[in-house]
Structure 1
Amino acid sequence: MLTENVIEVEKNIQDACDRAGRSREEVRLIAVSKTKPVSDIEEVLTTGILDYGENKVQELSDKYDVLPKNIRWHMIGHLQRNKVKYLIGKTVLIHSVDSLRLAEQIEHEAAKADTIMNVLIEVNVAGEESKFGTTCNEAIELVRAVAALKHVKIKGLMTIAPFTDNPEDNRIYFKKLKQLSVDIKSKNIDNVDMDELSMGMTGDYEVAIEEGATMVRVGTGIFGERNYQI
């Protein structure tokens, strides 16, 4: 069942790349495994997917301990500063840096571990009150401030678009994030790459790819509906 879901998602990604004139290699599929058991991840692993996204630090750490070490873990949920220390050395990318204080905590923990932590700056493009992320207007200022940290490397931007029944409704937000990344890149800020755009989820990842996403975060489309009661 999960294998069939992956095949379907992969087909949709390829189709979206074809429509946009992009290579499939330009888009990384992150299987969002939050709330799902280790056995589900083990099944999806057989399809060759090595990138997995988690929302909670504890759940990521628990799965990290028991699953193969070649998995590339992504922290995609809101991150509290007191949890940062548990991620260093376990995650390849933190998608949800939305404040200088959080970035400074990552710097502190990464420096202790003598490593560099790759991050994305989370931008609340749609301006939803329920979502985290810096604003489009403040994003460049935040990027400049974080860029000064020696053990934090900005690799690009991330956004969570509004939940909608019509994925076309979110095209405007994906376009905005892409344009913002172009604007930031043009400023040639030291220690800043704008190579990654993490945008698009199960309901709208095809539109996101058409607008330049390099990472799509697909959970329900692979693992099925979630039961948040457990």
Structure 2
Amino acid sequence: MEIKENILELKNEIKKYSPNPENVILLPTTKYVDASGVLEVVHAGCVVVGENRVQALEDKKKALENLGIEDIRWHFIGNLQKNKVKYIAPYIEMIHSVNKISLASEIDKRAKQNNRRIKVLLEVNISSEESKEGYSIERLHEELPDLLKLENIEICGLMTMAPLTKEEKVIRKVFSDLKELKNELNKTHFNGGLIELSMGMTNDYKIALSEGATILRVGSKIFK
């Protein structure tokens, strides 16, 4: 019951803090729970679920299918190794962590083999932290022409992670800078096709919502 209550609280906060709550996807991230935990969020009304390890995703998907649950829309949110793409390419709805052309090319290749077009987000290291994955803005601009040639991926937005700090001003700037980059790229390269901003986790999702987040990756707030 507590998971259902936590999800309801988050949905109410989406309505409170987001300028466009109807466009926001609450993405329960199930890194620290097993298939039964995923089942609970599905029963609470969340059919889009995020996982950050390929093997865990495969295991949970199989366990849930054995229970007759086959309509979950899986998002991959972790650092993705090229040699693991083939395992999730047949079914993954969206990959949040495309941060180099070599990975994007592999996703494109595997999507084509499965007669699919896979949605992806470009991961941007807006805060330029050495410990974080993601494109620098400069390298993103360098690789964009090649990314746009890939026909079996659909680049539909950007993703970032804010620094672990209690300074709201710092966090807000990261999220607002990602939104600005999205707006800029929509004018120069995407003709309005970038619609998703995957930003905001348990510790900063309210700020992310107010800055226009459309996908919230929330784990511990749900499963606490």
Q: TM-score category by the smaller chain?
A: over 0.9
Cα deviation code 1:144-201 (max 9, x no counterpart): 22110111110110001112234443000000000000110001448x8211110010
* Letter aligned with residue 38 of structure 1: A
The runs of at least 4 consecutive aligned structure 1 residues that moved more than 4 Å come to none
**Distance between the aligned counterparts of 1:71 and 1:204, measured in 2?**
26
- Aligned position for 1:155: 156
SS of residue matched to 2:129? coil
**Distance between the aligned counterparts of 2:47 and 2:144, measured in 1?**
28
- Aligned position for 2:28: 31
- Aligned position for 1:97: 98
* Letter aligned with residue 193 of structure 1: G
- Aligned position for 1:83: 84
1:217 matched to 2:217: yes
After superposition, the Cα gap between the structure-2 partners of 1:5 and 1:166, relative to the gap in structure 1 and judged at 3 Å, is farther
Cα deviation code 1:15-35 (max 9, x no counterpart): 102xxxx23211110000112
Cα deviation code 1:47-104 (max 9, x no counterpart): 2111111110111111111222211111000000000001112210000000000011
Preserved CA contact (<8 Å) 2:119 2:155: yes
1:61 matched to 2:51: no
TM-score, with structure 2 as normaliser: 0.93
* Letter aligned with residue 128 of structure 1: E
**Distance between the aligned counterparts of 2:6 and 2:185, measured in 1?**
36
- Aligned position for 1:71: 72
TM-score, with structure 1 as normaliser: 0.90
* Letter aligned with residue 149 of structure 2: A
**Distance between the aligned counterparts of 1:163 and 1:36, measured in 2?**
23
**Distance between the aligned counterparts of 2:213 and 2:198, measured in 1?**
6
**Distance between the aligned counterparts of 1:166 and 1:5, measured in 2?**
25
Alignment length, in residue pairs?
A: 219
- Aligned position for 1:122: 123
SS of residue matched to 1:194? coil
After superposition, the Cα gap between the structure-2 partners of 1:168 and 1:46, relative to the gap in structure 1 and judged at 3 Å, is farther
* Letter aligned with residue 118 of structure 1: K
SS of residue matched to 2:7? helix
* Letter aligned with residue 126 of structure 2: V
- Aligned position for 1:12: 13
How big is the alpha-carbon RMSD for the aligned residues of Structure 1 and Structure 2?
Answer: 1.5
**Distance between the aligned counterparts of 1:45 and 1:167, measured in 2?**
32
Identity, in percent, stands at 39
* Letter aligned with residue 198 of structure 1: S
SS of residue matched to 1:161? coil
5 Å-filtered alignment, 1:131-146, equals: 131-146=132-147
SS of residue matched to 1:193? coil
Structure 1 residue 134 displacement after superposition: 0.4
Cα deviation code 1:90-142 (max 9, x no counterpart): 21000000000001111111111121111000000111111100012222333
**Distance between the aligned counterparts of 1:167 and 1:218, measured in 2?**
18
**Distance between the aligned counterparts of 1:203 and 1:189, measured in 2?**
31
